[in-house]
Structure 1
Amino acid sequence: MKTFTSYKIEEQHAGLPVEAYLKEILGYSGRKIQKLTRKKGILLNKRSVFLQKNLKTGDLLQVAVLEDASYGVQPEAGGIDILYEDEYLLVLNKPPYQLVHPAGHTTRGTLANHLAYHWQQQGLLYTLRPIHRLDRDTSGCILFAKDAQSQFKLEEQLKARQISRLYQACVTGLVQPPQGIITAGIAVHPHRPNRRIVSDQGESAITHYRTLQQFSIATLLELELETGRTHQIRLHLAHLGHPVIGDAMYGKPSPFMPRQALHAVSVTFSTLGDNRRITVQAPLPTDFRQLLDHCDLTQTNKT
C-alpha cells in the first residue's frame, strides 16, 4: 500500500503544469518523476494525472513516498549521540576527529557509517542526507533529513536563512572590536584544492561574531554563519588576525589543543511536522572545556 504526501495548491502556483510544480516547487528530479509516473505515484484530486496538466487553486496533489533503496554508505557499529529526532529529521552531536561521511580513501568510521548502523539495528532504511557539513576536527550539531522531501524542505530553510547555526571558537589574542561582521569572499586555493583563500573573486561569505569572554591570551567568540562556505569560520578568523587556537591549516598548532577549538554549539530550525521553531544544543566537549580552563588559569596567574 502506497503512502502519499499531500500538497494543497496555493493561488501563486495556479497555472503551473504538474511536472513544473514537482520540479520547481517540490524539488523533484526528472528521474524521480519518471519513477513516480511508472508506479502511478502522482495523483491530482485523488486521480491519476498527466504531467502537463495545469494546476488550479485548491487542487490536491498527492505524491507517493518512494522507499529508499540503500543507506548510501556501509553500516558500521559505532556510537552516535542523538540530540533531537522526529519522523522527518535528526540532529547529532558529532565528535571531533571524525568525518561526517566517507571521502577520499576514508570509507569507514564516519558519522554516516555509524548512523546507518543505528538505523539498520532498528530495521529502518534511510539514505544518509546531511543538510550541512562540519570539518573532521570540528565538533557539535549536525542536521540530517530522513527522506528526500524533508531534505528539500530543510535545504529551502537553509537557502532562506531560516536555519541558524551558532558556533563557539577560542581564538588567539584579544579581538577588537568585541563584535562585528566579517565579509570576505572565499575561493579555492590555486595550488592546494583542500584549502581556501580570501579573494575578491571568491564566493560571497559573511560571518557574524561577538565576544563571550576575553582572557589575557585568547578570546572566546560566538559566531553565526550567514553563508556556509568551506572553512568559512576558520578562514575568516585568520583573516581577522585571530586564527582559531589549534588550527594548523590557517594558524598554527597549539600545545594546549590538538585540533581547532571550534564547536557547533546549536542549530535552530522549523520542525517539518508542526512548524515549531526549536533550538537544539550540543555541550562543549572535554578538550574545549579544558582549553578554556587553561586560558582562565593563565589569566588568573598573570593577575
Structure 2
Amino acid sequence: MKSFSSYMIAMEHQDKTVENYLKQILQCSGRKIQRLTRQKGLLLNGKPTFLQKKLKLGDKLQVLISEDAGFGVKPEQGVVEILYEDEYLLVINKPARQLVHPTGQTTSGTLANFLAFELQQRSILSAIRAVHRIDRDTSGCVMFAKDSHSQFILAQQLSARTIKRTYWALVKGVVSPPSGTINAPIGSHPNQPNRRAINEQGEPAVTHYRTLRTFPDASLLELTLETGRTHQVRVHLAHLGYPIIGDGMYGVRVSWMLRQALHAEAISFNHIKKEEELTIHAPLPADFAKAIDYCANHQ
C-alpha cells in the first residue's frame, strides 16, 4: 500500500501550480517530480492531479513517500539540537550551512535526514514534515510537525499569521529610521533564476524591523515576518539600503563573517491542544556573536 505525506495549502502558497509548490516549497528536484508523476504519486484533495494545476487555500496535496523507511528521506546519523518537543511537533535549532530538506543533488546531510534518524532511534515512524524553511546559511528555529493533522493546524496558523518568526540580522550601515516596516512585493529576478528581487508583479511581502544595537558602520536588527517569501529578509534589507553582512548573494562579503549574518532567533505559535502561546528561542551561534563583537571593537 502506498504511503503519502500530506500538505495543506496555506494562503501564501495559493495560486502556485503543483509543480511550483513541489519545487519551491518542498524543494523537490526535477528528477523526483518526474518519478512522482510516473508513479502516480501526486494527489490533490484525494484525486490524481497534474503539475500545472493551480492550488487553492485549504487544498490537501499528497505526495508519495519513497521507500526510505517511511520518513520521506533517508535516515542519517547526525547532530539534532531539539529546542522544544511535544507529541505534535518539534522545534529544531538548525546550524548554518545545512539544508532543511534534501533538494537537487543534495540528498544527505540535511536536517531532515538527521531528524529521521533521531525518530528512527526512538522507534517513531513519521514522515518528516517541515512547517516552514530557512536558507542553508541561516541558523536557528525550524518547526517540524509529527503528523498530518498537526501539520494542517500549524499550516492554518502560518496562514493566519498566528505563527510569528523573529530573526536577528547584522547589516551594513546605521539604519535610519531605527525601526519601521518594509512592504515590497518579491518575485523572480529578471536575469538570475536562483535569486529573488523586488518585483511589482511579485507576491506581497511585509517585514517589520527594529534596531537592537548600533555600531560605527553596522546595525543589529530584530525582524518579524508577516509573510514568508523566499529570501524575504535578505531581499528586503538590501532594498532598504542596509544589506546583510556576509551575504554573498544580496549583501556584503567580509573576511570576518563567512556566511550571512542572519539567525532565526525565535518562533511563537499556539499550542495545538492547550491554545496557549509558546515562544521558543534559539541561542545565538558563536560565529554570529563574534561578528557582533568585531563590529563593536574594530569599526
Q: TM-score, normalised by structure 1?
A: 0.76
SS state at 1:104 partner: coil
Are the equivalent residues in 2 in contact too, given 1:206–1:226 (CA < 8 A)? yes
- Per-residue deviation, 1:290: 0.2
Counterparts of residues 129-140 of structure 1 (less than 5 Å): 129-140=129-140
Q: Deviations over 1:39-65 (max 9, x none)?
A: xxxxxxxxxxxxxxxxxxxxxxxxxxx
Structure 2 CA distance for aligned equivalents of residues 146 and 188 of structure 1: 32
- Per-residue deviation, 1:161: 0.5
- Per-residue deviation, 1:197: 0.7
Note closer, same or farther for the CA distance 1:91–1:176 as it changes in structure 2 (3 Å cut): same
In the alignment, which residue of structure 1 is the partner of 2:183? 183
Counterparts of residues 203-282 of structure 1 (less than 5 Å): 203-282=203-282
Q: Deviations over 1:224-249 (max 9, x none)?
A: 00100000000000000110000010
Structure 1 CA distance for aligned equivalents of residues 265 and 95 of structure 2: 12
Are the equivalent residues in 2 in contact too, given 1:216–1:298 (CA < 8 A)? no
- Per-residue deviation, 1:188: 1.0
- Per-residue deviation, 1:276: 1.5
107-116 or 243-252: bigger deviation:
243-252
Are the equivalent residues in 1 in contact too, given 2:188–2:199 (CA < 8 A)? no
In the alignment, which residue of structure 2 is the partner of 1:158? 158
1:31 and 2:46 are equivalent in the alignment: yes
Structure 2 CA distance for aligned equivalents of residues 113 and 253 of structure 1: 30
Are the equivalent residues in 1 in contact too, given 2:70–2:127 (CA < 8 A)? yes
Structure 1 CA distance for aligned equivalents of residues 138 and 170 of structure 2: 12
1:288 and 2:288 are equivalent in the alignment: yes
Counterpart AA for 1:31: G
- Per-residue deviation, 1:138: 0.0
Are the equivalent residues in 1 in contact too, given 2:172–2:252 (CA < 8 A)? no
- Per-residue deviation, 1:193: 1.6
- Per-residue deviation, 1:29: 5.3
Structure 1 CA distance for aligned equivalents of residues 193 and 116 of structure 2: 29
Counterpart AA for 1:198: I
Identical-residue share of aligned pairs (%): 57
In the alignment, which residue of structure 2 is the partner of 1:90? 90
Q: Deviations over 1:94-120 (max 9, x none)?
A: 000000000000000000000000000
Counterpart AA for 1:195: R
- Per-residue deviation, 1:217: 1.3
Note the residue ranges of structure 1 that are not aligned, 5 or more in a row: 1-27, 33-67
1:103 and 2:118 are equivalent in the alignment: no
Counting matched residue pairs gives 239
Rg comparison, structure with higher value: 1
Measured on the aligned residues, the alpha-carbon RMSD in Å equals 1.8
Note the residue ranges of structure 2 that are not aligned, 5 or more in a row: 1-42, 48-65
Are the equivalent residues in 2 in contact too, given 1:186–1:198 (CA < 8 A)? yes
Structure 2 CA distance for aligned equivalents of residues 199 and 108 of structure 1: 34
Structure 1 CA distance for aligned equivalents of residues 150 and 121 of structure 2: 22
Structure 1 CA distance for aligned equivalents of residues 133 and 166 of structure 2: 13
In the alignment, which residue of structure 1 is the partner of 2:197? 197
Are the equivalent residues in 2 in contact too, given 1:165–1:266 (CA < 8 A)? yes
Q: TM-score, normalised by structure 2?
A: 0.77
Counterpart AA for 1:94: K
SS state at 1:255 partner: coil
Are the equivalent residues in 2 in contact too, given 1:85–1:91 (CA < 8 A)? yes
Counterpart AA for 1:269: F
